[in-house]
Amino acid sequence: MTTKHDNLINGQWIAGATYAPNINPSNLSDVIGEYTQADAAQLDAAVKAARAAFPAWSTGNVQARADALDKIGNEILARREELGTLLSREEGKTKPEGIGEVTRAGNIFKFFAGECLRLAGEILPSVRTGVHVEITREPLGVVGLITPWNFPIAIPAWKIAPALAYGNCVVIKPADLVPGCAWALADIINRSGIPAGVFNLVMGRGSVIGDPLVNHPGIDAISFTGSQGVGARIAQQCAVNLKKVQLEMGGKNPQVILDDADLAQAVELSVQSAFFSTGQRCTASSRLIVTEGIYSKFVDAVAARMATLKIGDALAAGIDIGPVSSQSQLEQDLGYVQIGQDEGAKLVAGGQRLKLGTEGFYMAPALLTDTTADMRINKEEVFGPVASIIRVKGYEEALAESNNTPFGLSAGIATTSLKYATHFKRHSQAGMVMVNLPTAGVDYHVPFGGRKSSSFGAREQGRYAQEFFTTVKTAYVGV
């Protein structure tokens, strides 16, 4: 008998018409629980509850806000082992990665607890005698949050925490594939002292409640993380309705390796960037751009390192890489491996489905060489443990190739040259640049986001989150 989990609307747990099972991708016979599916009527009720709660919450005591967010952060951190296990069980990243993500979520809430008390404004002199000017920030209203499956607690946390800290009310729709972490987070928030209606959870299919959430007249802004295609459609819908919108839509991130790089360091950061978390990170490096002097040694060393990786059940000890998150994602990953070979790439390691002790969505990480920039494998986001290597002559060609993409989220360079590192930091067309570090892995207190088709709107995380979750008011006072 599996446990049933309901939506949180106006402080009450409310069942939808149906329930869907949450399946462990490491062991398809393991049902984590059954999670209800909201319909448009439940979504409407959640938005109305948030609108009713907004006046009191937005103007209430900021210390109460800070205390509630700090309490949420403390409980998340106290339960990091339990919640990390849940995360790994439903999403498939290894247990150490799951615990790390939960820790990040807890720290995000504690950071924004402090931000409740640091929302500053300005007082400026007017050009008119006897007048001064006050510039303040106020909450937007009711914010709709749509979160992805690859970071099922960290991304909800970095949207929910600033939304609440700055006085907004929230309606969140998590990815249908991973409702467990969102439900657990909602349960913690519901017991934190935050008033009923301020935070609402509606689980269900995007095809059923996604558009109604984006287009609901009671929603003032939308923050979305997901695919570029869905993000573009949301942007159009928000433009028609004149809603503020924030989009994070993935990447095709380059990792440049120059001839002068420390080979062991370059190999390790490339393998981590491309394959850890099963390559299911929007900041993962799927394009390894390698200069010709180090090319052969690098390819051999990466293949050798890949041979040591342990793939298996996400909860097992000593595992480096867990399963792909779902059957459809596995089929997509394997499909791109075949596409790359059909276009002329050479598969030098991995790329096949694995059958292990339990039935799961296991795949050996794939490394493709002899690829060119015009191949689909180098143009389209795979979102799995698949990396391709592009050979270039030198730094200038490497830089040009790294920018040869409609995306611009994260980019990395491995080099011992201060000259090239400095030039790359300035001229990379990415929102985040890493020098001698994996492209995947960011801190919770600094801005996150990209350029071009990777992102649209204000940055997420850190103090920069206020740019999206607040609006600026200018008041003139006669003195």
> Could you give the residue numbers annotated as active site?
248, 282
Instruction: State the Cα–Cα distance between residues 355 and 340, nearest whole angstrom.
Output: 23
Phi and psi based region of residue 449 (left: phi greater than 0; alpha: psi -120 to 50; beta: remaining): left
Contact call for residues 350 and 366 (beta carbons, < 8 A): yes
H helix or E strand, kind and range, residue 14: strand 12-14
Instruction: State the Cα–Cα distance between residues 16 and 18, nearest whole angstrom.
Output: 6
Partners of 290 in the beta sheet? 257, 391
Instruction: State the Cα–Cα distance between residues 203 and 172, nearest whole angstrom.
Output: 8
Contact call for residues 271 and 308 (beta carbons, < 8 A): no
Instruction: State the Cα–Cα distance between residues 182 and 60, nearest whole angstrom.
Output: 26
Instruction: State the Cα–Cα distance between residues 88 and 188, nearest whole angstrom.
Output: 19
Backbone phi and psi for residue 328, each to the nearest 5 degrees, phi listed first:
-65, -40
Instruction: State the Cα–Cα distance between residues 218 and 143, nearest whole angstrom.
Output: 9
Instruction: State the Cα–Cα distance between residues 172 and 179, nearest whole angstrom.
Output: 11
Contact call for residues 251 and 455 (beta carbons, < 8 A): no
Contact call for residues 309 and 275 (beta carbons, < 8 A): yes
Q: Which runs of E-coded beta strand occur in 63-156?
A: 122-125, 131-139, 142-146
Contact call for residues 337 and 347 (beta carbons, < 8 A): yes
Nearest to 201 by CA among 31, 36, 18: 36
Nearest to 281 by CA among 416, 157, 442: 442
Instruction: State the Cα–Cα distance between residues 151 and 131, nearest whole angstrom.
Output: 49
Nearest to 186 by CA among 165, 171, 175: 171
Instruction: State the Cα–Cα distance between residues 222 and 220, nearest whole angstrom.
Output: 7
User: Which amino acid is it at 232?
Assistant: A
Instruction: State the Cα–Cα distance between residues 400 and 17, nearest whole angstrom.
Output: 53
Contact call for residues 454 and 248 (beta carbons, < 8 A): yes
